[in-house]
Amino acid sequence: MSAITRDEVAHLARLSRLALTDAELGHYAAQLDVIIGAVARVAEVATDDIPPSSHALPLTNVYRPDEARMSLTPEQALAAAPAVENDRFRVPRILGEEA
Amino acid sequence: MSLTRNTAAELGALIASGEVSAVEVTQAHLDRIAEVDPQVHAFLHVAAESALEQARSIDARRAAGEELGPLAGVPIAHKDVFTTKDMPTTAGSKILEGYRPPYDATVTARLREAGLVIIGKTNLDEFAMGSSTENSAYGPTHNPWDLDRIPGGSSGGSSAAVASYQAPLSTGTDTGGSIRQPAAVTGIVGMKPTYGGSSRYGVIAFASSLDTPGPFARNVLDAALLHEAFSGHDVMDTTSIHAEVPPVVEAARRADVSGLRVGVVKEFAGEGYQPGVLARFREAVDLLESLGAKVVEVSCPSFTYALPAYYLIAPSECSSNLARFDGMRYGLRVGDDGTHSAEEVMALTRAAGFGPEVKRRIMLGTYALSSGYYDAYYGSAQKVRTLISRDFEAAFHQVDVLVSPTTPTTAFPIGERADDPMAMYLADLCTIPANLAGNAAISVPCGLAEEDGLPVGLQIMAPVLGDERCYRVGAALEKAFEDRWGGPLLKEAPSL
């Protein structure tokens, strides 16, 4: 189908939250183009009358009893955090200066 | 003879009878790791202290008269994609370097309950994405048969550990062949249970509709014992099957194929298959026939579309699953210096923390799921998945099991396919259909390829929840081959 351009890779990288260099954009564009060209074959046999399968087993809506259970303590949950403040995950600013 | 040469079943019996202690067995394997792992690099973390402590506790419980399971005190190498609260868990990625999870995976917990001694965490392709272990951020693992070659992947550390006698057992996860392919290229046994037969809770997710934990061992019975030890329903995994574990140990002991109908998959031969692999495969099929199986050729035309469907479905699921690695709650964080927004920190963290194959798959999945492309790619791949299930269903009306080579080639040299993702993906050609349909499938050794003297694996595929058939056929073949070879295939491996 379509050839993958550097601009498309830049768009995919932005959607994927991956900061790529210019050199990487070109590198991945070439590789993704080959891969996508090869996997596009699936369309050859995927006719309208075939239902899609998202899963190997016929399972739907699996529930367990809604019972309170022990969970992680704040100390355990925060133990691997890159930054902690007042028993919470400290994260970089989310809103812009003007917000 | 060193305790590292015994099977897991033998070690369990020796420990139960008091002939050797669990501490002695654990120490023997730790010594072996110290001796050969500098060359093999199967382990990312060796847990000597906690392993010996656990072994001492097994010995004390046995001395107190407690009835222990058949694998109590036996060492096991654990793929570093299962969470372990007392050991680091990296998934082979820089983004999780030094990470210590606050909980045990269900498989980890069940290993502990069975008294298995976890001696360390094994190397893998980053986030289990790969077929060679070269995608590990911590360097490749080397095949014990030829240190310049790959041990398969993604569970290559686990296959190499068992094949080089550093552990009698190990765990793996199989998303597109990540247990069966490494088992095949290192000359050992590797089993992908029926999807949902073993719990995914605490398995760092790659492609959730495909990921399946399973066992590695040097023989079929040991694999069955481990399979039984960690499988079964788990309330923490919503895709876990609510059914009894198939009678795998009994089947491995039965080892009889008389009257069994065996289907040879017609599509898995020809171009791209190494002649020595096909020769060993045909020999194994003849052997099954001589043991009383009825062999017929079966056509599964959609199987040729399994590889492209997989390389759309698995990346799509991974692009979603790996969104959790955002540098906010655990793992690496890069660029948090007050000048970058949270979104920029996420992008810098992921760029620094993920390797090239992971980035490729995340972008490929993002592409396949994006509007305008969804129907042509992800949607079509899901339809192929239906066709593959139908092919299996039709085949299992005619036969009890399907067989094929596990891999088209033997172990390739490290570096050979590193810059060619499509060539790397071909290693999974024969193993992927069972993942897409959820079937059980095993790889057992069937000899050495004539042209390179490297191990070849035979794949046996069974219906969903028909796992015992894999073990029954695998054990029968193993027995017949070992009679012919005068012992296990691994005795042909060069000593390290």
User: Could you tell me which residues come within 8 angstroms of residue B18 by beta carbon, excluding any fewer than 6 positions away?
Assistant: B62
Q: Which of B239, B348, B422 sits opposite A57 (nearest CB)?
A: B239
**Which residues in chain B are closer than 8 Å to A82, comparing Cβ atoms?**
327-328, 330-333, 336
- Enter the tokens of residue B286: 């003849």
- pLDDT tier, A96 (very low <50, low <70, confident <90, very high otherwise): low
For residue B170, what is the DSSP state?
Answer: E
B322-344: b (≥16 Cβ within 10 Å) or e: beebbbbebbbbbbbeeebebeb
Cβ–Cβ under 8 Å, residues B363 and A13: yes
**Which residues in chain A are closer than 8 Å to B369, comparing Cβ atoms?**
none
- pLDDT tier, A99 (very low <50, low <70, confident <90, very high otherwise): very low
SS3 B262: strand
**Which residues in chain B are closer than 8 Å to A9, comparing Cβ atoms?**
363
- Enter the tokens of residue B452: 């390179």
User: Could you tell me which residues come within 8 angstroms of residue B255 by beta carbon, excluding any fewer than 6 positions away?
Assistant: B220, B472, B475, B476, B478, B479
Please report the ipTM that was assigned to this predicted complex.
0.94
**What does the pLDDT read at residue A97?**
55
Cβ–Cβ under 8 Å, residues B168 and B217: yes
Cβ–Cβ under 8 Å, residues B128 and B206: yes
- Enter the tokens of residue B109: 């917990």
Spatial separation of the C-alpha atoms in residues B486 and B380, rounded to whole Å: 49
SS3 B431: coil
Pairing of strands B261-265, B294-298: parallel
Measure in Å the smallest separation between the Cα of A5 and chain B Cα atoms: 12
Spatial separation of the C-alpha atoms in residues B429 and B305, rounded to whole Å: 10
Q: B79, B132, B170, B443: which is the annotated catalytic residue?
A: B79
- Minimal Cα distance from B366: which residue of A? A12
Nearest by Cα to B430 from B276, B266, B282:
B266
Q: Is B231 a catalytic residue?
A: no
Spatial separation of the C-alpha atoms in residues B209 and B196, rounded to whole Å: 9
Write the single-letter amino acid at B93.
S
Pairing of strands B261-265, B401-405: parallel
Q: What is chain B's pLDDT, residue by residue, as a tens digit (496 residues)?
A: 589 999 999 999 999 999 999 999 999 999 999 999 999 999 999 999 999 999 999 999 999 999 999 999 999 999 999 999 999 999 999 999 999 999 999 999 999 999 999 999 999 999 999 999 999 999 999 999 999 999 999 999 999 999 999 999 999 999 999 999 999 999 999 999 999 999 999 999 999 999 999 999 999 999 999 999 999 999 999 999 999 999 999 999 999 999 999 999 999 998 899 999 999 999 999 999 999 999 999 999 999 999 999 999 999 999 999 999 999 999 999 999 999 999 999 999 999 999 999 999 999 999 999 989 999 999 999 999 999 999 999 999 999 999 999 999 999 999 999 889 999 999 999 999 999 999 999 999 999 999 999 999 999 999 999 999 999 999 999 999 999 999 999 999 999 9
Nearest by Cα to B262 from B483, B445, B474, B488:
B474
- Enter the tokens of residue B456: 């070849």
Among B380, B386, B428, B432, which would you mutate to test the A interface (most chain A Cβ atoms within 10 Å of its Cβ)?
B380
For residue A1, is pLDDT > 50?
no
C-alpha distances in angstroms, B340 versus A81, B265, B333, B353? 18, 55, 12, 17
For residue A60, is pLDDT > 60?
yes
- Minimal Cα distance from A88: which residue of B? B329
- Minimal Cα distance from B357: which residue of A? A28
Cβ–Cβ under 8 Å, residues B119 and B33: yes
Phi, psi of B94 (to 5 degrees): -65, -25
Q: Which of B312, B335, B348 sits opposite A42 (nearest CB)?
A: B312
**Residue A74: other Cβ atoms inside 10 A:** 10
- Cβ within 8 Å of A, B 13-72: none
SS3 content of chain A, % helix, strand, coil (to 5): 40, 5, 60
B235 lies within 8 A of chain A by CB: yes
Q: Are B343 and A89 in contact (CB < 8 Å)? A: no
The full set of domains in chain A, from first to last, is 6-43 (1.10.20)
C-alpha distances in angstroms, B197 versus B112, B163, B183, B213, B386? 19, 25, 20, 9, 20
Measured in residues, chain A has a length of: 99
Measure in Å the smallest separation between the Cα of A26 and chain B Cα atoms: 12
Phi, psi of B51 (to 5 degrees): -65, -45
Q: B136, B154, B155, B302: which is the annotated catalytic residue?
A: B154
Among A16, A41, A49, which would you mutate to test the B interface (most chain B Cβ atoms within 10 Å of its Cβ)?
A16
Cβ–Cβ under 8 Å, residues B220 and B475: yes
Query: B277 forms bridges with which residues in the sheet?
Result: none
For residue A2, is pLDDT > 70?
no
Measure in Å the smallest separation between the Cα of A61 and chain B Cα atoms: 9
For residue B82, what is the DSSP state?
Answer: B
**Residue A66: other Cβ atoms inside 10 A:** 5
Phi, psi of B40 (to 5 degrees): -85, -40
User: Could you tell me which residues come within 8 angstroms of residue B482 by beta carbon, excluding any fewer than 6 positions away?
Assistant: B488
**In this predicted model, what pLDDT tens digit does every residue of A27-56 receive, in sequence order?**
999 999 999 999 999 999 999 999 999 988
Spatial separation of the C-alpha atoms in residues B496 and B494, rounded to whole Å: 6
DSSP states along B390-417: HHHHHHHHH-SEEEEESSSSSPPBTTTT
Nearest by Cα to B98 from B86, B90, B108, B107:
B90
Nearest by Cα to B87 from B50, B116, B62:
B50
- Asked whether the bond before B208 is cis by omega within 30 degrees of 0, the reply is no
